[in-house]
């Protein structure tokens, strides 16, 4: 791991296939919990969606009919119930700037361990707007807290869906 890599882990109360499906199919639900500063643009939040599996893309859509959408990154690995790797290239990134999010789903007692590593930050220069004036440990902590909050939202979503199905 690079010194700029961010790694967070949580355990969710679902099997790996269900956790993977919630992460990918319901990204717009749990991703809605991200702070405004970490949205892909300054415009109102669009709908997030993974499209096309491996080789496809993670996109944010504001008005599909008018073509108002942004590709946030290509899907590099798509192994349902096991692993998802996608590029992360928000609008603020230049053409050669990209990071990568690697998510693993591992069965454990009581559910699935979801481990997320966001790497490639060494390609994003110090002072870049996406760093929000943070560098080094402060930047890693900020990004770790962001991803941890999102994984908690994923776990809460899975719990809510489980309760809904039981009633």
Residue 106: its pLDDT value, please? 98
Q: Which fold has domain 6-166?
A: Alpha-D-Glucose-1,6-Bisphosphate; Chain A, domain 4 (3.30.530)
Work out the percent of the chain whose per-residue pLDDT is above 90: 48
Question: What DSSP state is assigned to residue 5?
Answer: -
Residue 75: its pLDDT value, please? 98
The per-residue pLDDT for range 146-167, each reduced to its tens digit, is: 899 999 999 999 998 877 777 6
For the whole model, what pTM was predicted?
0.88
What does the alpha-carbon distance between residue 164 and residue 96 come to, in Å, rounded to a whole number? 44
What does the alpha-carbon distance between residue 39 and residue 152 come to, in Å, rounded to a whole number? 18
The per-residue pLDDT for range 97-134, each reduced to its tens digit, is: 899 999 999 999 999 999 999 998 888 777 777 777 77
Yes or no: say if 140 and 2 are a contact pair by the CB < 8 Å rule.
Answer: no
Taken in order 40, 41, 45, 49, is the CA torsion positive or negative?
A: negative
Tokens of 28: 């717009």
């Amino acid at each position: 791991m690079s010194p700029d890599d961010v790694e967070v882990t949580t355990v969710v109360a679902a099997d790996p296939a269900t956790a993977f499906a919630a992460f990918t199919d319901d990204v717009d639900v749990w991703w809605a919990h991200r702070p405004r500063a970490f949205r892909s643009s300054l415009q109102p939040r669009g709908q997030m969606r993974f499209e096309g599996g491996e080789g496809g893309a993670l996109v944010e859509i504001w008005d599909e009919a008018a073509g108002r959408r942004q590709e946030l990154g290509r899907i590099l690995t798509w192994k349902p119930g096991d692993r998802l790797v996608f590029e992360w290239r928000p609008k603020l990134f230049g053409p050669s700037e990209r990071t990568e999010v690697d998510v693993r789903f591992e069965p454990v007692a009581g559910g699935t361990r979801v481990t997320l590593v966001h790497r490639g930050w060494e390609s994003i220069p110090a002072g870049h707007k996406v760093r929000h004036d943070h560098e080094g440990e402060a930047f890693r902590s900020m990004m770790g807290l962001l991803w941890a909050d999102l994984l908690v939202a994923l776990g809460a979503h899975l719990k809510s869906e489980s309760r809904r199905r039981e009633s």
